[in-house]
Chains A and B, each alone.
Chain A
Amino acid sequence: MKTFRIGGVHPAENKLSAGKAIEILALPKQAVFPLSQHIGAPATAIVKKGDVVKVGTKIAEAGGFVSASIFSSVSGKVNKVDAVVDASGYRKPAIFIDVEGDEWEESIDRSPVLVRECNLTPEEIVAKVKNAGIVGMGGACFPTHVKLSPPPGCKAECVIINAVECEPYLTADHRLMLEKADEVLVGVSILMKAAKVTKGYIGIENNKPDAIKLMAQKAIQYPGIEIVPLQVKYPQGGEKQLIDAVIGRQVPAPPAIPINVGAVVQNVGTAFAVYEAVQKNKPLFERIVTVTGKSLKSPSNFLTRMGTPMSQLIDAAGGLPENTGKVIGGGPMMGKALVNTEVPICKGSSGVLIMNDKEAARAEAQPCIRCAKCVSVCPMGLEPFLLATLSAHKDWERVEKEDVMSCIECGSCQFTCPSHRHLLDYIRLGKGTVGGIIRARNAKK
């Protein structure tokens, strides 16, 4: 069984909602759309207070090449353009829409029929993807059309679809493959066409045998697509780890990117969004979100309109338990702890995880006993104990020399440390500072 070569851990999988079919979540009363829910420049609002919008109406225009447009997920009236606390915990500008009815733009094909044929040119596909506001749906939220437009001198050789869902608890991608296998495969074919390659791999971890079986059966009808079962190991969903696992190539240290080894990596949710955008004219305004947690009454997977407050999903899954200690947007390894449950679902919200106060408490950090376990689990071959110590001592020069910029913030080191050291807190500090220093240096040149 294939997997990546360096480090890795195996946290308890806790896929509580794996057997729960996707349910459609009721419309919210008000939907909130932060203008910056992707990597790159924030979008600019093109609606103002009082404007009437439909489901699928563009409400914010991309703010540059590396940026993405935003579409309304509801019909109704714009209430205001104001600041909201988003998943990052900061106040960011957002569009508030009061929901009235459920009227869709006529251009969207709402029929459930599978449309397999796609006769567009690669350029037309990329344009359509861009016009649908699609970003990476695994959590990184990098605009998809940028990844499909390789920089000069680079040539894509294959598309790799990330369907490993290596974060514990999350099951959105798993359910998507079980329920929308054909749509996903058509989406992958379209992505391959857009990237001008003939080979596509779908990497799925071995803890989803039903998805592997179904996808492998269906993939026979789609030329060039191969299903690659992978050993269960975190962080296999990391772009670089996935490429290593699937085609055995290692992306060199930053600033190199996957395309440098000929790979275009896309999330399986993104492939589905691409299908809907290209074949059904449907921009990105809804997604599947896992709502889960051990103390939650019924962990579920919901098809959710963007802008819905997380509290509504939690209520639909049985309500916030009394002993809640932490609410996390995303999975337990890389997700963000939220300040409140009114945070809206965005393009990159793959899950909402509720932890009770016992699970949520961090143990007290003890002195490093130099056991070297953090070093052996780091998937990037770094020395987390050293990076953390150097960062704590603000020795930025050495932090940079020890390759802090390669850290993918997967958290494996801190997960493993028997002394419960807050390694990643310090490494993030070091990475942020060194990143700033590098940018300043490049600006001077």
Chain B
Amino acid sequence: MANKLIVSLSPHVHSGDSVQKNMYGVLVALIPALLVSFYMFGLGAVVVTLTSVAACVFFEWAITKFILKRERSTICDGSAIITGVLLAFNLPSNLPLWIIIIGALVAIGVGKMTFGGLGCNPFNPALVGRIFLLISFPVQMTSWPTVQQWISYTDATTEATPLALMKMAVKGDVNALEQLPETLNLFLGNNPGSLGEVSALALLFGLGYMLWKKIISWHIPVSILATVFVCAGLMHLVDPVAYASPLAHLFTGGLMLGAIFMATDYVTSPMTHKGMIVYGVAIGFLTIVIRLFGAYPEGMSFAIFIMNAFTPLINTYCKPKRFGEVVKK
């Protein structure tokens, strides 16, 4: 009996939390937005999502097995599936299969596995995939189908997105902002755009779920959204004809998707609450700067990408408040 006892150091109990639980939790949080995308973009959305997820999981498995030659496969941890869904969410629903597969290869191959896999990558893999595609295939990546053409895929008719209209307004088109859909429609998702970004409401449901399950903390999403609201609001006050209202900014493009699901990626965001707020405010600010003054209509991806690069620096300077630093009372 005696020699059978396990001897290890404390603690002897564990919360029961696991990488899988968190990853699958994020997937559950993505479901509302996924359903909206199926409703808005029909067949195209289904094809793009399935292709992206399958390709991401396949590349993760193949690279682990044949290139890294690791015994244990990591596809079960769910992170490759998340990358697949998030990549799909950032693509238009009429994107041809082969482009999606290239995107998945870049996301998993370049964005994640070259650095050693989950936990070691400096940039959000889905973002790496998306930015690569945006630069390589600017035409295909920026023509978005009109909503509710349920059975069409690459043959869908396209139309200008609200963000493009907002850009035209900044460039001097005084009538552009009047063509913007109603704010309520923007909020619900009834407007063209990438798969998963159209419905702010569905994404907010996801945020609520993740906060409730303690998968993420509020610091990053709230600081991004608040910063965008304030910056866009100030500009709107200065010139309401050229600059869209802060709510229109919040509910259009990849802002909600980015703030809730892309910027909060564990691996590439800061480790302390203070750091998370610095990171979130910077992302919000950069997004508005790019949207209003940059060459691209959308700035979210680039803003997150840039701040991913600053995360190690933020971690070095934003330390948690140590116990006992202040003696109060």
A240–B19 touching, CB < 8 Å: no
Interface string of A344-372 (1 = CB under 8 A from B): 00000000010101011111001111111
With known contacts A333-B11, A333-B12, A249–B273 Cβ distance under 8 A: no
Contacts A338-B7, A339-B7, A381-B322; is A11 near B13 (CB within 8 Å)? yes
Q: Report yes or no: B321 in contact with A6, Cβ–Cβ below 8 A.
A: yes
Residues of chain B within 8 A (CB-CB) of A380 are 322-323
Question: Quick check: B12 and A337 within 8 Å, CB to CB?
Answer: yes
Give the chain B neighbours of A379 by CB distance below 8 A: 323
Report the bound CA distance from A409 to B139 in whole Å: 57
B65 contacts the other chain (CB 8 A): no
CB-CB under 8 A from A425, the residues of chain B are: 9
Q: Is B22 an interface residue (CB 8 A)?
A: yes
B interface majority secondary structure:
loop
Q: CB within 8 Å of B: which of A395-435? A: 403, 406, 409, 411-412, 414-420, 424-425, 428
CA distance A327 to B5 in the complex (A): 7
Q: Is A256 an interface residue (CB 8 A)?
A: yes
Residues of B within 8 A of A320 (CB): 1
B8 at the interface (CB under 8 A from A): yes
Asked if B266 lies at the interface with its beta carbon under 8 angstroms from chain A, I say yes
Report if A250 contacts B (CB, 8 A): yes
* Chain A interface bracket (under 10, 10 to 19, 20 to 34, 35 or more): 35 or more
Asked if A383 and B324 make an inter-chain contact with CB atoms under 8 angstroms apart, the answer reads no
Within the complex, the shortest CB–CB distance from B213 to chain A, in Å, comes to: 12
A334 touching B11 by the CB < 8 A rule?
yes
Flag whether A198 is at the interface (Cβ < 8 A): no
Question: Are A416 and B15 closer than 8 Å at their CB atoms?
Answer: yes
Q: Is B271 on the interface with A (CB-CB < 8 A)?
A: yes
Asked whether, in the complex, the Cβ of A336 is within 8 Å of the Cβ of B326, the reply is no
Across the two chains, which residue of chain B brings its CB closest to A364?
B72
B residues 63-90 in Cβ contact with A at 8 Å? 77, 79
Q: What is the distance, in angstroms, from A238's C-beta to the closest C-beta of chain B?
A: 10
A residues within 8 A CB of B325?
250, 252-253, 381
Determine whether B179 belongs to the interface, using a CB cutoff of 8 Å to chain A: no
Complex interface residues of chain B between 3 and 55 (CB less than 8 A to chain A): 4-15, 17-19, 21-22
* Contact partners of B120 in chain A: CB under 8 A: 367
Binary CB contact string for chain B from 249 to 286 against chain A (1 if under 8 A, 0 otherwise): 00000000000000000111111110010000000000
- B323's contact among A6, A366, A375, A419, by CB below 8 Å, is which? A6
Is the beta-carbon distance between A372 and B5 smaller than 8 angstroms? no
Interface: A122 (CB within 8 A): no
B233 at the A/B interface (Cβ < 8 Å)?
no
- CB of B119 within 8 A of CB of A367, answer yes
A376 within 8 Å of B (CB atoms) = yes
User: Pick the contact of A406 from B217, B268, B324 — CB < 8 Å?
Assistant: B324
| A392 lies within 8 A of chain B by Cβ | no
Is B321 in contact with A381, judged by CB distance below 8 angstroms? yes
Assuming the A-B contacts A367-B119, A375-B271, are A240 and B324 also in contact, with contact meaning beta carbons closer than 8 angstroms in the complex? yes
Contact B13–A333 (Cβ < 8 Å): yes
* B9 in contact with A428 (CB, 8 Å): yes
**Distance from A153 Cβ to chain B, minimum over Cβ atoms (Å):** 16
Asked whether, in the complex, the Cβ of B13 is within 8 Å of the Cβ of A361, the reply is no
Cα–Cα, bound, A187→B13 (Å): 34
Q: Is A27 an interface residue when CB atoms closer than 8 A count as contact?
A: no
Give every chain B residue within 8 A of A332 (Cβ-Cβ).
10-13
Task: State A375–B321 Cα separation when bound (angstroms).
Answer: 10
Centre residue among A362, A363, A367 by max chain B CB count within 10 A? A367
The answer to whether A382 and B322 have CB atoms under 8 Å apart is yes
A68 at the interface (CB under 8 A from B): no
Across the interface, B319 reaches (CB within 8 A) one of A261, A362, A383, namely A383
- The answer to whether A418 touches B17, judged by C-beta atoms less than 8 angstroms apart, is yes
Interface string of A82-125 (1 = CB under 8 A from B): 00000001000000000000000000000000000000000000
In the complex, which residue of chain B has the Cβ closest to the Cβ of A89?
B7
A272 lies within 8 A of chain B by Cβ: no
Q: Which residues of the partner chain B approach A382 to less than 8 Å between Cβ atoms?
A: 320, 322
Closest residue on chain A to residue B120 by CB atoms: A367
Min Cβ gap B80→A in Å is: 13
Nearest 7 CB-CB pairings of A with B: A411-B11, A367-B119, A340-B2, A381-B322, A332-B13, A371-B266, A418-B17
Question: Please, could you name 20 A-B residue pairs with CB atoms under 8 Å apart, sorted by A?
Answer: A12-B13, A240-B324, A248-B329, A249-B329, A324-B4, A325-B4, A326-B6, A334-B10, A337-B10, A355-B12, A369-B118, A375-B271, A376-B217, A380-B323, A386-B271, A415-B11, A415-B14, A415-B15, A418-B18, A420-B14
- B interface, CB within 8 angstroms of A: 1-2, 4-15, 17-19, 21-22, 77, 79, 117-120, 217, 266-273, 276, 319-329
Question: 13 extra interchain contacts, Cβ-Cβ under 8 A, other than A337-B5, A418-B22?
Answer: A250-B328, A252-B324, A320-B1, A325-B4, A334-B11, A363-B18, A367-B120, A369-B267, A376-B217, A382-B322, A385-B271, A415-B11, A424-B9
Task: Please give the residue numbers on chain A whose beta carbons come within 8 Å of chain B beta carbons, in ascending order.
Answer: 6, 9, 11-12, 89, 168, 240, 244, 247-253, 256, 261, 320, 324-328, 332-341, 353, 355, 357, 359-363, 366-373, 375-376, 378-383, 385-386, 403, 406, 409, 411-412, 414-420, 424-425, 428
